[in-house]
Structure 1
Amino acid sequence: MSKKTNVSLIMCLIFAMFLVGCINKSSNEFDLSQLSRVDIEVVQEDGSYGEAEMITDEETVDALRKAFKQIKWEPNVEPKMGRKEDIKATLFFKYDENMPERLFEYQIWFIQSNDTATIISNNEKERYGTLEKDNAQILEKILLKN
C-alpha cells in the first residue's frame, strides 16, 4: 500500500468513528436517566386541570424512571380515548448543562378494571403506551399520592 492509500484509509476510519459517535448520541436523546423533574396536573371532575405539582426529589424521580422504563410503546398507533386523562405529566430532561431542558407531555389514564395504565406521549418515538399492573399501581401511587 502506498502512503496516499494509508492516509485515505485513516481519514475514512476517523470519519466513520465520528459518525458512529453522533449516531450513539442521538439514539440516547430520550434517555430516562436524564430525567430531572416531573410536573403533574390531576384532572378534576369538571375536566379542568388542578394546580400543577412539581416532583424533584431524587428518590421519587428515580421511582418514576423505573416505572416509565416498563412502558410498552407502540409509536405507530394513533390512539383515541373515550374519556379525559386522569393525569397530565410533563417530564423534564436535562441533556446538557448549557442547553435548556427538553419537555415531553404525557397523558395518563389509570384503567381500574384491570389495574393497568394507558399513556399517550407527544414524543413521536413513543406516542402510545401501556403499563402492566404492578408498575401502573406504582405510577398511580406516586402521581395521585394514594
Structure 2
Amino acid sequence: MKHTNIYLIISIIFAMFLIGCTNKSPNEFKLNQLIRVDVEVVKADESYEKAVMITDEETIDVLRKTFKQIKWEPNTKPKMARREDVKAILFFKFDENMSERLFEYEIWFNQSNGTATIISNNEKEGYGTLDKNNAKTLENILLNK
C-alpha cells in the first residue's frame, strides 16, 4: 500500500514537471495555425476602409513572430480615448474539416512612445501591449509602409 502511494506521488510530480517544462503557450500553438490576416484601417470619419489581405507565407511568419511578443493581460477591458488605428482580423485553420476561426484585434499605434496597444476579442488574451521594435514591424506590415 505504501509503495503504491509513493509511485502515485512520483508519477504526479513527474507529470507536473513535464507539463511545466513545455515552452509553448496555448497562444503560440494557435499562432502556428495562422493562415490569413485582413486589415481594415480607420479613416478620419471613423469608418473602416479595407486596406489589405495578407496571405503570403513570409509576411504571415513575421506576423506570427510579432504577435508572440505581445504581453497579454487577460480579462482586462480598458477604455481607449480614441478609435483604433487598425482592425486586424486573423484567420486560423485548426482542422482541415472545419472552417476557419476568426479573431479580431483592435490596434492603436502610440506615436508618443512608439509602442502599440492591442485589444483582442479572444477572452484568453484581452488587452495587450507591444514594445517599440515589434510595434514598428506590425505597423509597417499592417499599414503597408
C-alpha separation in 2, matches of 1:142 and 1:53: 10
Larger Rg: 1
The answer on 1:70 being equivalent to 2:69 is yes
Deviation at 1:143, TM superposition (A): 0.5
Q: SS state of the match for residue 138, structure 2? A: helix
Task: Tell me the amino acid that sits aligned with residue 75 of structure 1.
Answer: P
Task: Tell me the amino acid that sits aligned with residue 33 of structure 1.
Answer: N
C-alpha separation in 1, matches of 2:139 and 2:52: 15
| Closer/same/farther in 2, CA of residues 98 and 74 from structure 1, 3 Å limit | same
| Closer/same/farther in 2, CA of residues 137 and 28 from structure 1, 3 Å limit | closer
Match of 1:34 in 2: 33
Deviation at 1:65, TM superposition (A): 0.5
Task: Tell me the amino acid that sits aligned with residue 92 of structure 2.
Answer: F
C-alpha separation in 2, matches of 1:104 and 1:145: 21
Identity %: 72
> Which runs of no fewer than 5 residues in structure 2 stay unpaired?
1-18, 20-25
C-alpha separation in 2, matches of 1:71 and 1:129: 6
C-alpha separation in 1, matches of 2:117 and 2:49: 20
C-alpha separation in 2, matches of 1:83 and 1:28: 27
> Which runs of no fewer than 5 residues in structure 1 stay unpaired?
1-19, 21-26
C-alpha separation in 1, matches of 2:79 and 2:29: 24
Match of 1:83 in 2: 82
C-alpha separation in 1, matches of 2:75 and 2:35: 27
Match of 1:123 in 2: 122
> What is the aligned length?
121
Q: SS state of the match for residue 63, structure 2? A: helix
Give the TM-score taking structure 1 as reference length: 0.79
C-alpha separation in 2, matches of 1:102 and 1:38: 12
- Any conservation in 1 of the 2:78–2:127 contact (CA below 8 Å)? yes
C-alpha separation in 2, matches of 1:41 and 1:116: 19
Match of 2:107 in 1: 108
